[in-house]
Amino acid sequence: MKTWHEIRGFPLAIRLLLVNQLGVNTGFYLLIPYLALHMSENLGMSSAVVGIVLGVRNLSQQGLFLIGGTASDRLGARGVIITGCALRTVGFGLFALGDGLPVLLAASVLSGLAGALFNPAVRAYLTLEAGERRAEAFALFNIFATTGALIGPLLGSALLLVDFRASALTAAGIFAVLTVAQALVLPARHVAPTGNSVMADWREVIGNRGFLAFALAMVGMFTLENQLYLLLPDGARRATGWEGAAGLVFLVGTLAHLGLQLRITRTLKKRGSRGRWISAGLGLMALSFVPPMAVAGLGTPPDGLAETAWRALPVLVGAVLLHLGVMTAQPFVMELIPGFGRSELTGTYFGLFYVVSGIAAAVGNALLGWAMDAGERADQPWLPWACCLAIGLTSAAGVARLHRRRALPARPAPASAPASAPAPASAPAAARGARHR
With a CB cutoff of 8 Å and minimum separation 6, the contacts of 293 are: 314, 382, 385, 386
Q: Residue 427: what pLDDT?
A: 33
CA atoms of 223 and 364, how far apart (whole Å): 5
Q: Residue 105: what pLDDT?
A: 94
pLDDT tens, position by position, 106-156? 999 999 999 999 999 999 999 989 988 999 999 999 999 999 998 999 999
CA atoms of 15 and 8, how far apart (whole Å): 8
Q: Residue 132: what pLDDT?
A: 87
Query: Residue type at 3?
Result: T
CB 179 within 8 A of CB 78: no
* Residue 283 burial (CB count, 10 A): 21
Task: Give φ, ψ of 376 to 5 degrees.
Answer: -70, -40
CB 129 within 8 A of CB 78: no
* Residue 79 burial (CB count, 10 A): 25
With a CB cutoff of 8 Å and minimum separation 6, the contacts of 32 are: 57
As averages over each run of 10 residues, the pLDDT of the chain (437 residues) reads 79 94 95 88 86 86 91 94 96 91 94 94 93 92 93 91 93 97 88 90 95 94 88 87 83 89 93 92 97 80 77 92 96 95 94 89 82 87 94 96 91 49 35 33
CA atoms of 111 and 100, how far apart (whole Å): 17
Helix axes 12-29, 77-97, angle to 10 degrees: 20
* Residue 207 burial (CB count, 10 A): 9
Q: Residue 199: what pLDDT?
A: 95
* pTM > 0.95: yes or no: no
pLDDT tens, position by position, 348-377? 999 999 998 888 877 887 888 888 888 888
Output the CA–CA distances (angstroms, integers) from residue 262 to 133, 156, 324, in the order listed: 12, 28, 11
Query: Residue type at 385?
Result: W
